[in-house]
Structure 1
Amino acid sequence: MEHATRILIVEDDMVIAANLSLQLTQLGYEVTGIESRGEEAVSHALANPPDIILMDINLNGKLNGIETVSAIHSENQIPIIYLTANSDETTFLKAKQTRPWAFITKPFNRLNLQRALALVVEQGKEMADPKVPMPELQVLEDRIFIRHNGKMEKLLLEDILYIEADRNYSNIKTLSSAYLLASTLKVLEEKLPAAFFMRVHRSYMVNISKLDVIGDGHLEIGRKVIPISKSYRERLLSRIRRV
């Protein structure tokens, strides 16, 4: 028999936390506990790992929600759903760096909670089920999941510097890592959002926001020199002028 999805609530407003716990129980989830401080949440999550953590971003105490997630993820990559009433861009960007699976904005209603959890649970099942073949690449709005070392790993689009073709494979390069996919550059060009990426050569696609230099026959991203074909250069310059 399939066990109920286990959820840890980390919320320092006890009224909200109690309401969450009640709604989760009514929806068929198992609540492993309620923690109001980041330090206790880290201990709980590592000693009794839940399937999902509902994390308030603005926790009181030594650790805020983002710092708490970073501490947990250093030991266990438990899926995170952030709860936040703070919609400022700086906080959102900091939270994104911890690669949450979803955000729920306060005040939330039962339907929003139910849908967010259902999506995260389903995605987790697909990634964990050995009977379901893992795709090479799954594209979401601001991130991709790529197959790496036998599992699907999350990679934010903004972290990708460029992609280099290697025959029928493609190397995705970030500042600190590289991922080899069994997909051609043409396939990736069709799947990845044009708002982020552009083909500049038969062997290269770049993240436009990461460009440092545009020369006559080359581009530079960091210290990497990337060739650019004449026809692609004209398209790139036209694209930049529109922006």
Structure 2
Amino acid sequence: MDRTIKITIVEDEMVIGANISLQLSSLGYEITGILPRGKEVLAHVKQNDPDIILMDINLKGEWDGIQTAEHLQKEHTIPIIYLTANADEHHFNRAKATNPYAFISKPFKKLDLQRAVELTINHIQNETDNTTAIQETAAPFILSDSIFVRHHEKMVKVVIQDILYIEAERNYCRIHSKGKEYLLVMTLKDMDDKLPNKHFLRIHRSYIINISQIDEVAQSHVVISKKAIPVSKAQREELLKRLQTI
């Protein structure tokens, strides 16, 4: 990137936050702020528009770091790097569901921090490069029984019944169909608004599924074509209702 990368630090131990800030500033990054509470992050992000957020998982207060990330991702697609002194399986799985770009275990060295940030920037640049390769006209034409998507400069017909699930990838969504995948310049919310409700249900902030393609239903996820897809608590009841009507 040609401009200075802006980083927000969310850390309730201010000595650690200040130390991270000094280290990143010495590497040439701009620190937009050090925030001790998750609920402060949303307003800060709207005002400062950071490129990366360093998020302590074990924040004190009403929201821990993972809950803060979940709230943040409802409105923003900012890469998150988690800081944690507690890397147990439960926290890791919760954190993993928010698709972080990296984990840094406390205590960490300056080199660990530097490499995590550099890898994240590299991912951001690659995503930007890939975006230019996908035409902005790649929005699909959605009919009652099929979707036409742009693929290699052509519009390709994807039969709705063949779609397994659709996954959010930042400002894109990826259609997983039988044997093929298609990446579209379209948010999952926009896709959800256009798809026929008869076949599809958004069961998680990152996933829309084709209900008829479900192989298994578990307490917290469904399985489609050997892929375990999480189901949010809010959507589980609706999913069970829809399954009863098939």
The TM-score range, normalised by the shorter chain, is 0.5 to 0.7
Distance in 2, Cα, partners of 1:127 & 1:208: 24
Residue 213 (structure 1) aligns with: none
Cα pair 2:77 2:170 within 8 Å, conserved:
no
Q: CA RMSD of the aligned region, Å?
A: 3.5
The alignment partner of 1:58 has SS state of: coil
Q: TM-score, normalised by structure 1?
A: 0.59
Residue 50 (structure 1) aligns with: 50
Work out the number of aligned pairs and report it: 168
Residue 30 (structure 2) aligns with: 30
Measured against aligned partners, the alpha-carbon deviations of 1:189-242 in whole angstroms (never above 9, x if no partner) come to xxxxxxxxxxxxxxxx932768xxxxxxxxxxxx8xxxxxxxxxxxxxxxxxxx
Residue identity in the other structure for 2:178: E
Residue 96 (structure 2) aligns with: 96
**2:178 counterpart (161, 164, 169):** 164
Cα pair 1:82 1:100 within 8 Å, conserved:
yes
**1:206 counterpart (225, 228, 246):** 225
Distance in 2, Cα, partners of 1:209 & 1:14: 39
What 5-or-longer segments of structure 2 have no aligned partner?
135-150, 152-165, 184-199, 211-223, 230-242
Residue 217 (structure 1) aligns with: none
Cα pair 2:167 2:208 within 8 Å, conserved:
no
Residue 177 (structure 1) aligns with: 208
Cα pair 2:80 2:102 within 8 Å, conserved:
yes
Distance in 1, Cα, partners of 2:25 & 2:17: 12
Residue 186 (structure 1) aligns with: none
Distance in 2, Cα, partners of 1:41 & 1:163: 37
Measured against aligned partners, the alpha-carbon deviations of 1:114-161 in whole angstroms (never above 9, x if no partner) come to 111101001101212378636x9xxxxxxxxx99899556x8xxxx9x
The alignment partner of 1:32 has SS state of: strand
- How far apart are residue 164 of structure 1 and its match? 1.2
Q: TM-score, normalised by structure 2?
A: 0.58
User: How do 1:190-205 and structure 2 match up within 5 A?
Assistant: none
Distance in 1, Cα, partners of 2:169 & 2:34: 34
Residue 191 (structure 1) aligns with: none
- Identify if the C-alpha distance between structure 1 residues 171 and 127 changes in structure 2 by more than 3 Å, giving closer, same or farther: closer
Distance in 1, Cα, partners of 2:131 & 2:78: 22
1:105 aligns with 2:95: no
Residue 137 (structure 2) aligns with: none
Residue identity in the other structure for 1:3: R
Structure with greater Cα Rg: 1
